[in-house]
Amino acid sequence: MSATAPLPLFSLLDVEKAYPIEGGRRHIKALDGIRLNLLPGQSLALVGESGSGKSTLVRVMLGLERPSDGRVLVGPAELGSLDAGQRRRFAREVAYIYQDARGSLNPRLDVAALLAEPIRLHRLRPEAQIDARVDELLAQVGLPTALRHRFATELSGGQVRRVAVARALACEPRVIVADESVAGLDVSVQAQLLNLLRDLQRTSGIAMVFVTHDLGVAAYLCEQVAVMYLGRIVETGPTARILQAPRHPYTRALMQAFPRFDAPLSVSLQGEIPSPASLPSGCRFRTRCSEARAECALTDPVQSPLDDGRHVACLHPLPAASAVVPA
């Protein structure tokens, strides 16, 4: 890193997360050797099939779960060693939009109270200015002030997600972490929300980590992408470059199977995904990889830098010119 490079907001250094199974007799690694940096203002999509470890990675980044091994740094500090004051600041600066946005909102509070709560908690405005700030937040996410006195149960799916975004913005965060925030919505409502998130990110400089099953969403919203497979990041770097010419066979397979904006990864690729409890020897993708060779059964590839700003965990990366032909 050069002397002028900004300090990452987050650095994950060889992070592992193991869960006990079968009454503790065995473990599975939901995360296995994760290396990742998030720079100020950067937007990063975490993409991968169900069970690849996206939500676990987010929980570990947010300090909701401790890694079994490796380090999570927030700026220069170890996340697990923050003191009470630093933790409060972290909770304000890193806003989380849950996978289940409706379930995350207190059903006894109306929209105005839901938005006022984090402003009061973090003492971001004097009491007399809170009402006006609530109106400002509603306008920012494109909701009419007439919704102030509605409860979450009285809102549509799209409105609920906007309230969740407004609640995140109320904290005046440096990072927004959103887990599947547009999944399950009509395509037109999805598009409106994506436009909103993209505008916010461009105008406010907030960094964003966006978990998605959808490569089209990743391409639209995020400059950087990390493609996950069975607990590991197999390819990461600039989204446009990776989607134009993937170098990991798994990324290419994902793109061939799900080339469209509204084609989420709801079905598996060709071949059975192995159980995380019994990974193949060597490369974990080899049982589904069209490029596999003998040594792929012997050596587990680690993330290595290529010369164009991306990292790939593959012993035989695809050639730089390999373009994807949509199915």
CA distance 126 to 99: 32
Under the binding rule (CB under 6 A), the answer on residue 51 touching ligand ATP is yes
Report which residue type is found at 302.
Answer: V
CA distance 30 to 276: 7
Nearest to 7 by CA among 48, 39, 52, 51: 39
Q: Look at residue 67 and give the partner it binds from ligand SF4, Mg ion, ligand ATP, none, a contact being a CB closer than 5 to 8 Å depending on partner kind.
A: none
Q: Look at residue 19 and give the partner it binds from ligand SF4, ligand ATP, Mg ion, none, a contact being a CB closer than 5 to 8 Å depending on partner kind.
A: ligand ATP
Nearest to 40 by CA among 65, 11, 71: 11
Instruction: Give the contact letters, 10-39, x = binds to ligand ATP (CB under 6 A), - = no.
Output: ---------x----------x---------
The position carrying tokens 């907001």 is 9
Which range of residues in 43-51, 103-111, 132-140, 166-174 is near ligand ATP by CB under 6 A? Answer: 43-51
Q: What is the DSSP string of 265-285?
A: S-S--SSPPPPTTSPPSS-TT
Taking the least distance from each CB to ligand ATP, the nearer of 156 and 266 is 266
Cβ contact 270:253 at 8 Å: yes
Phi, psi of 34 (to 5 degrees): -80, 125
The position carrying tokens 């010119």 is 321
Minimum gap (Å) between residue 69 Cβ and Mg ion: 21
Taking the least distance from each CB to ligand ATP, the nearer of 93 and 214 is 214
Q: Look at residue 51 and give the partner it binds from Mg ion, ligand SF4, ligand ATP, none, a contact being a CB closer than 5 to 8 Å depending on partner kind.
A: ligand ATP
Instruction: Give the contact letters, 53-72, x = binds to ligand ATP (CB under 6 A), - = no.
Output: xxxx----------------
Minimum gap (Å) between residue 55 Cβ and Mg ion: 3
Residues contributing to the site for ligand SF4 (CB under 6 A) = 249, 283, 285-286, 289, 291-292, 296, 301, 314-316
Beta pairing class for 224-229 and 26-38: unpaired
Cβ contact 138:166 at 8 Å: yes
Longest Cα–Cα distance in the chain: 70
Minimum gap (Å) between residue 99 Cβ and Mg ion: 6
Taking the least distance from each CB to ligand SF4, the nearer of 156 and 322 is 322
Taking the least distance from each CB to ligand ATP, the nearer of 211 and 289 is 211
Buried b (16+ CB within 10 A) or exposed e, 255-266: bebbeebeebbe
Cβ contact 241:309 at 8 Å: yes
Query: How many residues bind to ligand ATP according to rule CB under 6 A?
Result: 11
Minimum gap (Å) between residue 118 Cβ and Mg ion: 24
* DSSP designation for 28: E
Taking the least distance from each CB to ligand ATP, the nearer of 54 and 286 is 54
Which positions from 224 through 283 interact with ligand ATP, judged by CB under 6 A? 276
Report which residue type is found at 148.
Answer: R
Q: Which residues are near ligand ATP by CB under 6 A?
A: 19, 30, 48, 50-56, 276
